[in-house]
Amino acid sequence: MQKYYDVIRRIVDLAETCHEGIVHIKNKLAEGYFGETLPLMEDVTQAFLSIEGALQPLLPMLLSEQLEPLTEQLSESFYSLVSAYKRDNRERALEVIEGEFLPSFQIWHCELDRTLLPIITL
């Protein structure tokens, strides 16, 4: 696993940045700023796709039975959120981000940290 140290470090850092972006998006949506959140939403989506791609070859080596299903669940939540954005539906986007997406992300992020942080803090 040590040979994957840099990849894992980047995954952990990017996941934290995604979390900060998602919270910012949620706050801006709640304030009524929909269009202004679109560029950040695109960045967060791209970052998650990068994390997902980087995780795939690592999953068989990781000591987590939950990370793969949680990643799939989060991916589905992303789809719901992106669909709301494509329909220019701020209310639905806020509903999805508060009720489904952010809670799923937080659970996934905790499992990601629980699984990966011990590897990079050895």
The H helix count followed by the E strand count for the chain is 5, 0
**Amino acid 83: pLDDT:** 96
% the chain with pLDDT above 70: 98
Which tens digits make up the pLDDT trace of 40-71? 999 999 999 999 999 999 989 898 999 999 99
**Amino acid 3: pLDDT:** 82
78: closest CA among 99, 97, 59, 92? Answer: 97
39: containing domain: 2-120
Query: At 3, is the secondary structure helix, strand, or coil?
Result: helix
Amino acid type, 100? E
96: closest CA among 79, 111, 71? Answer: 79
> In this structure, what DSSP letter does residue 56 have?
T
> In this structure, what DSSP letter does residue 15 have?
H
Domains of the chain: total? 1
Work out the pLDDT band at 18, boundaries 50, 70, 90. Answer: very high
- The answer, yes or no, to whether residue 1 has pLDDT greater than 70, is no
Looking up residue 44, the CATH number of its domain turns out to be 1.20.120.330
Measure the CA–CA gap between 62 and 116, rounded to whole angstroms: 8
43: closest CA among 15, 18, 10? Answer: 18
Query: At 105, is the secondary structure helix, strand, or coil?
Result: helix
